[in-house]
Structure 1
Amino acid sequence: MTAGDMLFTIVTFAVLMVLVGIFAWKPVTAIMAKRQEKIENDLDYADNARQEAKELAEKRQAELKNSKADAVKIVTTAKENGEKQRQELVSAAKAEADTLKATAHKDIAQERQDALTNAKNDVADLSLAIAKKIIGKELDADTQKELIDRYIKDLGDANGSH
């Protein structure tokens, strides 16, 4: 290589460097700066998104704890309401049973009284028929009542109930 070739190569290299500096270096550095800015923005966005995700996860965790507490509260309230209803049903059933029992006792007492009245009437009719046959005559109402009452009293004394 000769001195002229070397000089030509150096000048060509210098011109090429100036042209590259003018036409290529500025656009390449601008593209690189834009790319660096985009990467920094993406990293900032990723950090912000990660921070938001972390906050959202903490918020959901707190809501989950509150939901669990609410669920426990709802279950407890439901149990208490169920127990109250059970007690009300038992009380109502007991009151109804007591009412039925009292009504049954009253009905039994009334039936007993009706049976005693019917028995008394039957005894009175039978006594009158026997008295008519024995005495052979009709009795007036007062005499008849007196005989019946005495007979019933004697029956009560004989049974030991009077």
Structure 2
Amino acid sequence: MKKVLVTLTLAMMSVTAYASSDAPVDMTALYKNFGYRAIVFVLMVIIIVKLAKKPLLNFLDKRTSDIEKAIKDAQDASESAKTEMTNYEIKMKGFEKDLETMKEKSLKAAEAEKELILEDAAKQIEKLKAFAENLIESETKKATVQLKKEAVLAALEAAEASIGKKLDDETQKKLLEQYIKKIEVAG
């Protein structure tokens, strides 16, 4: 309404300025012309307001609601992001604790594995010692038996040489077995 009054006032001022000029003018025609123009202008404004008011208000309302919705969505997204950030921080702390626990477990497992390896190595050393001792003992026995056989053969050869005749194989075997039995009983 203020705009209409301002427009009319400006229009009247121009008429007054035109009327103050030196030219003879029919003022009633001017007023009549101005009246028609003012009426047409007012009608045009009314028509434009009637036609454009609703779409303009709808556009402005829609724009306002879109802006409000965008602000609300941004606030919701911000709150959601803060919540997610807090959750991730909590999870990270949990992961750090889990990592420390896993490190401790790994160290304990490695220590236990080390102990098992050392125990196994000690057992293997004992087994190898026992095996070596058994091997030495069996080789000693074999060598003793071999030496005894050689001693018997040497004794037989000496006996044959002193007797002057050779013994047959069967008699030699019997004598050898008897002598080995005597040595085993004595040894």
When the two structures are superposed, what TM-score results if normalisation uses the length of structure 1?
0.66
Distance 2:149 2:69 in 1: 115
The answer to whether structure 1 residue 80 and structure 2 residue 120 are counterparts is no
How do residues 55-94 of structure 1 correspond to structure 2 at under 5 angstroms? 55-94=83-122
Equivalent residue number for residue 45 of structure 2: 17
For residue 41 of structure 2, what is the amino acid of its counterpart? F
Distance 1:24 1:135 in 2: 155
Q: Report which stretch shifted further, 85-94 or 96-105.
A: 85-94
CA displacement at 1:99 relative to structure 2: 1.2
Distance 2:100 2:146 in 1: 67
For residue 42 of structure 1, what is the amino acid of its counterpart? A
How do residues 88-127 of structure 1 correspond to structure 2 at under 5 angstroms? 88-119=116-147, 122-123=150-151
For residue 25 of structure 1, what is the amino acid of its counterpart? K
Q: Which runs of 5+ in 2 are unaligned?
A: 1-14, 16-29, 165-174
CA displacement at 1:123 relative to structure 2: 4.9
Deviations 1:41-65 (A, max 9, x none): 1111111112212222222232233
Equivalent residue number for residue 51 of structure 1: 79
Rg: which structure is higher? 2
Deviations 1:12-62 (A, max 9, x none): 232223222211122211211111011101111111112212222222232
Q: Report which stretch shifted further, 116-125 or 30-39.
A: 116-125
Matched residues, percent identical? 20
Distance 1:133 1:23 in 2: 155
For residue 91 of structure 2, what is the amino acid of its counterpart? E
CA displacement at 1:121 relative to structure 2: 5.5
When the two structures are superposed, what TM-score results if normalisation uses the length of structure 2?
0.58
The answer to whether structure 1 residue 29 and structure 2 residue 53 are counterparts is no
Distance 1:113 1:30 in 2: 117
Q: Which runs of 5+ in 1 are unaligned?
A: 153-162
Please, what is the CA RMSD of the aligned residues?
Answer: 3.5
CA displacement at 1:116 relative to structure 2: 4.1
